[in-house]
Amino acid sequence: GAAVVGNALYVVSQGTGELVELDARSLDPALTVRRSFEVGEGPTGVDVDAVTQIAVVWSQGAHELSVVSLGSGDVERFAVAGDPLDPELARGRRLFHAERDRRISRDGRACASCHPEGRDDGLVWKLGAGPRQTPTLVGRLERGPYAWLGKHERLEENMQETMGRLGGTGLPEAELRSLAAYVRRGLRAPQRPTARAQ
């Protein structure tokens, strides 16, 4: 989610749980962070009222709204609903979207950075084993073998190898299980629109 008010660009960071204010006039706003506000887990939307200088952020992971006073910096958070995912899938979702987790990658890139919503990013990466295009995950992980050459019987082994190629130190087995459970059962393919009866 993003919103522009005057010379400020407000974006939410799903992986860090922040609302970030950038300089909208900059050639590269991402390099001009003015300030950030901690909001709920997994923010996906933001709207800003230019008159009251209030931002409202929807956090999909936490199922809550954050009301941010841009003048004072105060943040109030309001739970809207409980998490529909069971605790293991919720932990996997946090890991899938986690930025700055050096266990997953050296540069802190999240799984969701290359697999947005479990899909491919349309890019080809060189990660030490030759060029590889990011594969779509949704609906493809029920059974192995896994990896480009089908060398892993378990999804967790393939994920651990990928983290190593990304320079990460890897996750413990319990967290790998949660991450595997989330990419198998927590990611959803988009629904096709149903044809209307005429």
Give me the percent of the chain exceeding a pLDDT of 70. Answer: 96
The pLDDT of residue 195: 67
- pLDDT one-digit tens code per residue, 26-40: 999 989 999 999 999
Query: Rounded CA gap, 13 and 43, in Å?
Result: 6
Residue 128 pLDDT class (50, 70, 90 cuts): low
| Amino acid in position 5 | V
CB count, 10 Å around CB of 48? 21
Query: Rounded CA gap, 156 and 184, in Å?
Result: 11
| Amino acid in position 148 | W
Query: Rounded CA gap, 144 and 86, in Å?
Result: 24
| Parallel/antiparallel/unpaired status of strands 75-79 and 124-126 | unpaired
Q: Is the pLDDT of residue 176 over 70?
A: yes
Instruction: Give the count of alpha carbons within 13 A of 152, CB side only.
Output: 13
**3 state DSSP class of 116:** helix
- pLDDT one-digit tens code per residue, 47-98: 999 999 999 999 988 999 999 999 999 999 999 998 888 999 999 999 999 9
Answering whether pTM is above 0.95, one says no
